[in-house]
Chains A and B, each alone.
Chain A
Amino acid sequence: MAELRVEGLSFVYGAGTPYEKTAVSDVSFTIAAGEIVGVIGHTGSGKSTLMQLLPGLLRPAAGRVLLGGEDIWANEKAVRQYRFRVGLVFQYPEYQLFDETVERDIGFGPRNMGLALEEVAARVRRAAAVVGLPERLLRHSPFDLSGGEKRRAAIAGVLAMEPEVLILDEPTAGLDPAGRQTILEMIRAYNRQTGAAVLFVSHTMEDVAAVAERVLVLSAGRLALQGPPAEVFAKEEELRAASLDVPAYTRILAALRRQGFPAVRQGLYTLEEAVAEIQRLYAEGKGGATC
């Protein structure tokens, strides 16, 4: 498993035309092997562009993408090989399903890798198991699946390449709470089972807080903040400046503190922590210590 490093990465859309627009400018960070990193940013902050730069789908205007220390653009012809190692799941991936059966669709990536048929079949089964797709569905047409199943089948299509770095662009967009939970658990499972690094973009602060070990905040194409969730979500001002918000649980605790509960601890950002904190306050409140 290799680390993914980005150095001074920039990208410009429509360079040299009146519609020129810098989408990513001078972004640097490192994703260590086995790390789970959340990426947040307002619409148009350059998240999706950045995600496409990492597997070499877009060529950076400046800067480098290094996988295990190798520049992926060192040899233009070989960049395709890196796409198998840095797997990117696009937003609404279910719209890319195309093959006759779910099995063949998931196997598209591994077949492109030139793997032997038995190996492709084994990888398809493993990927389907990670996303929780029952075996019997593999023989169905992908277009007969339900919305949530389609999403999982499409994600399995990238997992089957067994990338060392898995990137997901808003994997939970448009799903119900149960569907979101399934996807988040799947991210954790893939990370645990393979030791791959995972980078995922989300608009839901609560999802990032629940899964990510580290958070990158993008604002207007630049890396505005990065650090562990506790650290990033403590900087409410900076997040507001980037048109973002802290998780709902953090907001509730902050509101409680303003309402006259100075003992409320800050820097808590998951549901479990918030519940524990309110229970603690409640217990202490009964004793008459703080309110």
Chain B
Amino acid sequence: MLNDITFGQYYPAESPLHRLDPRVKLVLTVGLIVVIFLARVAVSLLLVTALLLAVTLLSRIPLRLTLKSLKPVLPLLILTAVINLFYASGGRVVLQVWKLTITTGGLLTAGYMALRICLLILGSSLLTYTTTPTDLTDALERLLSPLKAVRLDVHSLAMMMTIALRFIPTLIEETEKITAAQKARGADLESGSLLRRVRALIPILIPLLISAFRRAAELADAMECRCYHGGEGRTRLKQLRLAPRDGAALVLFCLLAAGVVLANRFLPGLLYGLFARLW
């Protein structure tokens, strides 16, 4: 079950997306999130979807893998859709059962919300699939470096993030091992009331916590043995440099953003109109 969390796992491949400067990718991902929420009408949402699909194909990451990143958020996705289905109003009434009414407006809002969440997850997991955690935090450190002026220790923050990301798979593996070991002693995790099931997690969580602290202490020792003393005067093996393709990516993104804003402004209700007429 825990293996399903592919979010935040680098997938090695040779693609223009992999070669893009991580700073640019980070900025574009944040930009994409903004654009996804800016996209209010069907045409602009479809525009974003099309671009994201094209970029995914460009990244040479198997489509199945990217879709797998949606699995953990599926409950959230369904919940949001269902709530919007009943609460959003407008349009014609499609179905009415007791006090619950489903309107065409509700259907559309639910669909939009679900699509937005999907796009958010796909977009951000594309970043983590094509960028190694080290590159990512390196980019973050560079982008946040102006904050050093306000005495924010950007380097330490970036280092903490790198370590946290690096240890997610390790801790997942550890959880699986401990779960299997406690099951071997007859731990029953699958049956009983909610309270019983939560209590059944104690034999797993305590060893996991202890092992996390042990690992942290060992890692700190190992870092100190290699004379780590924070970011002061630390140089890099890999210097980040912007290339023409980074500029191209930025331009492409600006075009998308402009397209979305224009579609919002001039093409509202285009698909909605079609949809309503067909109904």
Residue ranges of A at the interface with B (Cβ–Cβ < 8 Å) = 14, 18, 52, 55, 57, 80, 83-84, 87-90, 93, 95-99, 108-109, 112-113, 143, 157-158, 161
Contact = CB atoms under 8 A, between A and B. Distances in A.
B187 interface: yes
B80 interface: no
A112 B185 contact: yes
Contact of A98 (B177, B184, B202): B202
Contacts of B178: 95-96
B205 to A, nearest CB: 8
A90 B177 contact: yes
Interface in B159-197: 177-178, 180-188
Contacts of A18: 62, 65
A100 to B, nearest CB: 10
Interface in B15-74: 62, 65
Contact of A57 (B62, B184, B202): B184
Contact of A83 (B62, B177, B186, B211): B186
B198 to A, nearest CB: 15
A98 B180 contact: no
B210 interface: yes
Contacts of B65: 18
B186 A88 contact: no
A55 B181 CA distance: 11
Contact of A161 (B3, B181, B183, B185): B185
8 shortest interchain CB distances as A-B pairs: A112-B186, A98-B206, A109-B185, A88-B184, A96-B181, A90-B181, A98-B203, A57-B180
B26 to A, nearest CB: 27
B183 A57 contact: yes
Contacts, number: 59
B184 A90 contact: yes
A109 to B, nearest CB: 4
Which bucket holds chain B's interface residue count? 20 to 34
Given A95-B178, A98-B206, A55 B185 contact: no
B207 interface: yes
A214 B95 CA distance: 71
Contacts of B210: 95, 143
B207 A96 contact: yes
Contacts of B3: 14
Given A90-B184, A109-B186, 8 more contacts: A14-B3, A18-B65, A93-B181, A98-B202, A98-B204, A99-B203, A109-B185, A157-B185
20 contacts: A14-B3, A18-B65, A55-B184, A80-B183, A83-B185, A87-B184, A90-B180, A95-B211, A96-B178, A96-B181, A96-B182, A96-B203, A96-B207, A97-B207, A108-B185, A108-B187, A112-B187, A113-B186, A157-B185, A158-B185
Nearest to B203: A98
Pick from A52, A83, A84, A96 the residue with the most CB of B within 10 Å.
A96
A96 B177 CA distance: 9
A93 B185 CA distance: 12
B201 to A, nearest CB: 11
Nearest to B182: A96
A186 B187 CA distance: 25
Nearest to B214: A95
B99 to A, nearest CB: 41
A14 B3 CA distance: 9
B186 A84 contact: yes
A98 to B, nearest CB: 4
B203 A80 contact: no
A15 B211 CA distance: 30
Interface string B200-243: 00111011001100000000000000000000000000000000
A52 B185 contact: no
A89 B210 CA distance: 19
Contacts of A95: 178, 207, 210-211
Nearest to B3: A14
A158 B207 contact: no
A112 B206 contact: no
